[in-house]
Amino acid sequence: MKGSYFDNFLSETRAAAENKSWQKQENPVVDTEFYSDYNIAKQRLSHSLQTSVEEMDKLLVSFDNKWVPSNGKKYWFTNYDDLLRGLRTLVWEKNVKTCHTDDPDSYLWTEIGLDAFLKKEKVKANSDSPNIQFFEVNKIIAESNTFLILGNENTIKMLNNNAINVFVTGIEQIMKTADDIELYLKVLKDSDIKNNKKLFPILYTPTSKNKDNLFILDNMRSNVVNYVPQRSALACIHCGRCSQVCPVFKCAGHKAYDNIFSGPIANILLPHLETIDDYKFVSYACIMCGNCEKVCPISLPLREMIIENRRFFYEKGHLSYSEKSTFKKIGKAISNRKKLNKIKFVKTIKFRSLMSKDLRRHRKFPPFEKYSFNQQYIKNLKEKFK
């Protein structure tokens, strides 16, 4: 890596924030020649992120032990309700009336319901003179107790004013060192389909002098870490590429998930972040086309993790007797070549019998082709070699 690049970049963004020269600059995170082989660079980042997830418990303990009072205040929360209660206590104690958020539409603010919380507490959002400010931490560097914040041209000024700063992050955002931060920024910038604005990466070390408060959220993320095959999903950088190419997501859309998490990554995480019985269905929505894996910038084995989810649900008794029975019948049917080659109306009758009445009432049963793929393949071969 170019050791001085990141230091120079930070000094340039600080200067841009002060004299507004950012209005004339191109996005500085666009070094296309940074690595001669970009695919190798992405593999390196993938290994770094997934290693951090594997060692999450050790890194969090190390981070906690290094934290001292001069770093400001730190709070751990197990779920949304605990975090919002902590925010409410802070708002009441400091008599907060106005606030500012770095990105109101971010994943994390939507996940915890920050907008609804502020309205309920009658705190005016996006004020020019805020009593309290909210920042989403993109990465925590365990070895130095430093935060990576992806802000805008005003973020540096906001960090240095006299308001109370509240930094919020999930436990999965821990990283061991800052060695791959520059690589992370490059891959994120090139991959994020939703990002149409300039990224201003800021490394910030909290202090008690600046009234800094760090809120760390678990919300069942530690539950995912316990499931070895699926834990890699926590390394996701939320670029949105997998949703863009998923044929099921294109048909179902966000509403089918009823959650901030949606698309292929949600097919893995949602059952464990929420309740399995309410969200196990998303793991069966995947058709295993592999499009998501082809575009994933950090090469997550998404199909493998979805299959492991299905196996987990079956082995741990999260499927009803009728569901298990249906899966067994379908598996038996599609594993038998003779049955698959049966004439069209026989297959239609048999597969209709496996579908519930409710499903058939609301969805038209798709017709089978007259000949199976196997039969058509053999027929084409015979015609070819006549």
Interval 233-245: pLDDT, tens: 999 988 888 998 9
- Of 41, 55, 52, the C-alpha closest to 299 is 41
243 and 137 together in one domain: no
**Within-domain flag for 328:** no
Percent of the chain clearing pLDDT 70 (strictly above): 83
Residue 365 pLDDT > 80 = no
pTM of the model: 0.76
Boundaries of domain holding 204:
5-219
**Within-domain flag for 330:** no
Report for 42-51, 97-106, 352-361: range of highest mean pLDDT: 42-51
Which of 219, 245, 268 delimits the end of a domain? 219
Q: What pLDDT is stored for residue 36 in this prediction? A: 57
Name the domain count of the chain.
3
- 209 SS3 class: coil
- Of 138, 222, 200, the C-alpha closest to 173 is 138
144 and 171 together in one domain: yes
CATH code at 176? Answer: 3.40.50.10420
**Within-domain flag for 117:** yes
Interval 294-334: pLDDT, tens: 999 898 999 999 999 998 888 888 887 777 777 777 777 77
Q: What pLDDT is stored for residue 301 in this prediction? A: 92
Beta partners for residue 141, in sequence order: 146, 175
The continuous run of DSSP H or E covering 150 comes out as strand 146-151
- Token look-up 């201003």 returns 200
Residue 356 pLDDT > 70 = no
Residue 172 pLDDT > 70 = yes
